[in-house]
């Protein structure tokens, strides 16, 4: 959807939602008291809202923004200057994207801030910079293989993280085994929903899990973070997944944390791969049933 919205002309764009009318965009401009950023206007001209931008964060419709939805108002205390400018918001997570009208560029584009319960946690110079970040994470190093689900190889598993030296922590035979197990899981699970990301990090586990779908795996529904610094595992998933699979998630993170506490990083990584792939098999069976 985003690639189509940003492409000139629009050939090959996916029709995932109705376009916003000129009257609707004018109503949003009156609501905000300024002209819309040009790239955002192009997005709205194709899709007046979409169910997913990244993780469970939806691109809001103009009507939702003007009305000031409950999801938007949840950020009123943490981000009083930005909550009215939210244009994308999580349906279950506590994340949102908002424009910052105080620093407009000469071409009319506005900076974008990433909001959480803590307030502003990240900033980009424009919506275009946000999309470029997402595109880079989504497509760097992933070969075009048609519609088949294939594992992109070692680079696809490790290059997206720069805060850890996998060669120092893990011997080559472990990295090869991680490759093999991950590739097997991808082949077996195919294009099934939801989607999984595993992050091995030297940063604190919880911020890694709750932020990595933005910076590392924006299309993941479930993120497992293994922190070698804290020797702790954590998991980030939508409320819907937690309601059904919470005990299984807790069991997996507890066992992975136990391995990390013993300094068994390799075992924790392989256990994380095997355990989450098994969870996905159970999820698939439950859906079919």
Tell me the pLDDT tens digit for each residue of 247-286: 999 999 999 999 999 999 999 999 999 999 899 888 888 8
Among the listed residues 184, 197, 200, the one whose alpha carbon sits nearest the alpha carbon of residue 266: 200
pLDDT per residue as tens digits for the range 38-82: 999 999 998 898 877 776 788 899 999 999 888 899 999 999 999
Dihedral pair phi/psi, residue 142, rounded to 5°: -100, 115
| Count of beta carbons in the 10 Å neighbourhood of residue 168 | 7
How high does pLDDT run on average in the chain? 80
Q: How far apart are CA 89 and CA 82, in angstroms?
A: 12
Cβ atoms 216, 141 nearer than 8 A? no
pLDDT of residue 25: 96
Query: Is residue 27 over pLDDT 90?
Result: yes
Tell me the per-residue pLDDT of 193-234, one tens digit each, with 9 for 90 and over. Answer: 667 777 888 777 766 666 655 545 566 778 888 888 889 998
Please give the helix or strand (H or E) that residue 51 lies within, else none: strand 50-54
Global pTM exceeds 0.85 = no
Q: Which of 190, 201, 289 is nearest to 244 (CA)?
A: 289
Cβ atoms within 10 Å of 48's Cβ, excluding its own: 21
* pLDDT band of 236, cuts 50, 70, 90: confident
Q: Which of 85, 78, 119 is nearest to 103 (CA)?
A: 85
CA dist 36 to 73, 110, 122, 172, 230, Å?
21, 9, 21, 51, 44
Contact in structure between 261 and 169 (CB atoms under 8 Å): no
């Amino acid at each position: 959807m985003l690639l189509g919205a940003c492409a000139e002309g629009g050939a090959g764009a996916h029709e995932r939602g109705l376009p916003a009318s000129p009257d609707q965009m004018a109503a949003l401009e009156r609501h905000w008291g300024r002209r819309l950023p040009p790239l955002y206007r192009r997005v709205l001209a194709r899709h007046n809202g979409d169910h997913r931008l990244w993780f469970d964060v939806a691109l809001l419709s103009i009507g939702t923004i003007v009305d000031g939805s409950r999801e938007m108002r949840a950020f009123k205390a943490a981000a009083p200057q930005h909550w009215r400018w939210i244009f994308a918001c999580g349906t279950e997570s506590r994340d949102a994207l908002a424009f910052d009208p105080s620093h407009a560029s000469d071409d009319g584009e506005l900076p974008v801030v990433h909001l959480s319960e803590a307030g502003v946690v990240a900033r980009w110079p424009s919506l275009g910079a946000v999309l470029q970040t997402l595109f880079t994470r989504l497509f760097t190093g992933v070969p075009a293989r048609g519609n088949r689900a294939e594992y992109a190889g070692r680079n696809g598993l490790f290059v997206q993280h720069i805060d850890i030296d996998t060669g120092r922590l893990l011997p080559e035979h472990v990295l090869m085994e991680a490759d093999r197990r991950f590739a097997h899981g991808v082949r077996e699970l195919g294009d099934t929903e939801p989607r999984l990301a595993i992050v091995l990090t030297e940063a604190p586990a919880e911020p890694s899990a709750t932020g990595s779908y933005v910076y590392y795996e924006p299309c993941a529904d479930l993120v497992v973070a293994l922190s070698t610094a804290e020797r702790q595992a954590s998991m980030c998933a939508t409320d819907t997944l937690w309601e059904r699979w919470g005990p299984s998630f807790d069991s997996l993170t507890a066992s992975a944390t136990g391995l990390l506490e013993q300094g068994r990083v390799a075992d924790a990584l392989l256990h994380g791969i095997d355990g989450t792939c098994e969870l996905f098999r159970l999820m698939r069976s439950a859906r079919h049933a």
